Structure 1
Amino acid sequence: MDTLLNRRELLQLVTAATFAYPQLAAAEPNAPLFFSKDEFALLDALTELIIPADEHSPGARAAGVAVYIDRTVAEAFLPEEKTSWTKGLALMNKRARDSYRLEFLNATPDQQRHVLEVMAENEFHAATDEQRFFAQLKETTAFAYYSSAIGIHREIDYKGNVILEQFQGYDAT
């Protein structure tokens, strides 16, 4: 049996792959690039708990914060940094299991908030892996949110580089 491809077979494979790839990508435009579907669902829920939808803002989910984090981790991080994200998400589930015998996503909203509150203890002087992960998650969530069109334009109403008729300045008196 000959295992080498001839030119005709190679051309057929390349043509099929060329037409199949855009269709696969279009099927799920925000499919996770790095995280598993379960990890991505957890990340999405966590970011929405950190910046929830309310009367002022549509929240982290609408701003695509989890998608931003997934793409950033997939494309820019070193292997050990990628591992810190997957381990951190696993720690969230472990904390929920230890506290409620449930995976984080199966916990009630109050239970989920409690897990976050526990992990946020000592946020600015994180001593445990859980606390360090939560600090990283919160910082990255805020950065991603305020880098999005929703965060910049709807939340803080940033107008860009515009000429002011008058600069009020800061009154330090």
Structure 2
Amino acid sequence: MDRRTTLQWMLAASAAMGVEVSAGATPAKRSGGKAKGYGTDPKLTPTYRSGELWPLTFTPQQSRTAQALCGLIIPADEHSPSAAQLKVHLFIDEWISAPYPDQSKDKEVIVAGLAWLESESRSRFGKTFAELDVGAQSQIADDICWIQKARPEHAAAARFFKRFRDLTAGGFYTTPEGSKDLGFVGNIPSVTFDGPPLKVLQIVGVA
């Protein structure tokens, strides 16, 4: 399964969950009106281009910042490319742009967090986050990578980093390269089955 197909499956699953929730919305039932859904589920047979299902969110600058952060969170190693090389930031853009409640909440967190990251980068180093080397990027990330240890003034940024890290991992490990990195082999039998033992077949009278 290629990355485009994987994205289609994830988007369709999100859409299906959103339709179920909205179709049973209590406020619409109380008012006597018909619950307003999000429309029909996306068709899985066509190939969708990025931004075709809904407008995307990231500006070019936000996209560069998000890509750099993806690469910092999951760098390349001897097993797989980095999350930046696999363009996981494009998956995150698709995710937060989807018109559903959970994604809308993520959108607020991610957009605000990327703005903070850029502001902090320019304040500390006079450069955009994407222009920094890994060492400088890590200095910023180290301050927000653990909510429990983040200073009070970094609390919101730490919540952003946690959600962004989760989305990065989710996007990365649904790519063929990420699945391979996990050692996932799919629906392949791990043992050879030669049938029931002879004694069992004799007991049931078929041998």
Q: Which of 74-83 and 88-97 deviates more? A: 74-83
Query: Could you tell me how far apart the structure 2 residues matched to 1:61 and 1:71 are?
Result: 15
Which secondary structure state, in structure 1, belongs to the residue aligned with residue 144 of structure 2? helix
Aligned-pair Cα RMSD in Å:
2.6
More helix by share: 1
Match of 2:127 among 74, 78, 102: 102
Matched, 1:123 2:123: no
Match of 2:66 among 43, 46, 52: 43
The one-letter code sitting in structure 1 at the alignment partner of 2:165 is: K
**Corresponding position of 1:157:** 183
**Corresponding position of 2:170:** 143
The one-letter code sitting in structure 2 at the alignment partner of 1:104 is: F
Which secondary structure state, in structure 1, belongs to the residue aligned with residue 83 of structure 2? helix
The one-letter code sitting in structure 2 at the alignment partner of 1:118 is: D
Query: Could you tell me how far apart the structure 2 residues matched to 1:84 and 1:98 are?
Result: 21
Matched, 1:86 2:111: yes
Retained in 1: the 8 A contact 2:92–2:167?
Answer: yes
State the TM-score, normalized to the length of structure 2. Answer: 0.58
- Uncovered stretches (5+) of structure 1, i.e. residues with no partner: 1-24, 167-173
The one-letter code sitting in structure 2 at the alignment partner of 1:137 is: F
**Corresponding position of 2:202:** none
Query: Could you tell me how far apart the structure 2 residues matched to 1:125 and 1:111 are?
Result: 19
Shift, 1:88, TM fit: 0.7
Large movers: runs of 4+ above 4 Å? 124-127
The number of residue pairs the alignment matches comes to 137
Query: Could you tell me how far apart the structure 2 residues matched to 1:163 and 1:105 are?
Result: 44
Query: Could you tell me how far apart the structure 2 residues matched to 1:88 and 1:143 are?
Result: 18
Q: Which of 54-63 and 142-151 deviates more? A: 54-63
State the TM-score, normalized to the length of structure 1. Answer: 0.69
Which deviations, in whole Å up to 9, do the C-alpha atoms of 1:91-114 show, x marking residues without a partner? 111221232233212323311121
| Cα distance change on mapping 1:148 and 1:111 into 2, 3 Å | same
Aligned-pair identity (%)? 26
Matched, 1:113 2:138: yes
Retained in 2: the 8 A contact 1:42–1:89?
Answer: yes
Query: Could you tell me how far apart the structure 2 residues matched to 1:49 and 1:35 are?
Result: 19
Retained in 2: the 8 A contact 1:63–1:151?
Answer: no
Retained in 2: the 8 A contact 1:63–1:149?
Answer: no
**Corresponding position of 2:92:** 69
